[in-house]
């Protein structure tokens, strides 16, 4: 079952990319007591993700925070080292990278995709959501190959 507006996020272990190295975090702890703009990409360093998705959130970070967002987080089925390197090269300190290396979070959300045709295996779909104290208040799932509703600009219109 796919997560919906009004649902609580599933409680799984993610790995936060930090300057000190990978740090395990429970999703229930990370999302508690704050409003988070969360976006998911099929893979760090992939074309649309690097050229449009992440840069949009970097560019609009202050606008999102001005509208009440406490944190901006990105997740992908990649390890914390890749997510950290991607943030170092294309991101900013305003984005928290949450690695979903085994795809447990994407699976628990019901938002997986099969990237085997591209040599990527099971991945998370491209989506964004606003999470308020662990509850999904907005969710935007892209159709395969699209980049429209999961953008920072679209999310700004929802806040």
**pLDDT at residue 52 in the model:** 77
| Chain centroid, CA 154 distance in Å | 15
CA distance 20 to 15: 12
**pLDDT at residue 115 in the model:** 66
3-state helix vs strand vs coil in the chain, percent to 5? 30, 30, 40
11-41 tens-digit pLDDT: 999 999 998 989 999 999 999 999 999 999 9
Supply the pTM of this predicted model: 0.92
- Kindly list the catalytic residues: 49
Tell me, what DSSP letter sits at residue 77? S
Residue 138 has pLDDT above 90, yes or no: yes
**pLDDT at residue 47 in the model:** 67
Question: 149, 20 in Cβ contact below 8 A?
Answer: no
Identify the structural domains of the chain with CATH numbers, from first to last: 13-158 (3.40.30.10)
**pLDDT at residue 88 in the model:** 87
79-132 tens-digit pLDDT: 999 999 988 888 789 999 999 999 999 999 999 867 667 766 587 888 999 999
| Chain centroid, CA 64 distance in Å | 15
Burial of 52 (0-12, 13-18, 19+ CB in 10 A): middle
């Amino acid at each position: 079952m796919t997560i919906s507006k009004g649902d609580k996020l599933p409680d799984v272990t993610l790995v936060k990319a930090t300057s000190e190295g990978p740090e395990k975090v429970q999703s229930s702890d990370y999302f508690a007591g704050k409003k988070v703009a969360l976006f998911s990409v099929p893979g760090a360093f992939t074309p649309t993700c690097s050229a449009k998705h992440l840069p949009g959130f970097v560019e609009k970070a202050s606008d999102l925070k001005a509208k009440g967002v406490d944190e901006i987080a990105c997740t992908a089925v990649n390890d914390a080292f890749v997510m950290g390197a991607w943030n170092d090269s294309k991101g900013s300190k305003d984005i928290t990278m949450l690695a979903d290396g085994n795809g447990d979070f994407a699976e628990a959300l019901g938002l997986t995709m099969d990237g085997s045709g591209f040599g990527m295996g099971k991945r998370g779909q491209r989506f964004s959501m606003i999470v308020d104290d662990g509850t999904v208040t907005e969710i935007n799932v892209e159709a395969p190959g699209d980049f429209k509703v999961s953008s920072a600009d679209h999310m700004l219109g929802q806040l």
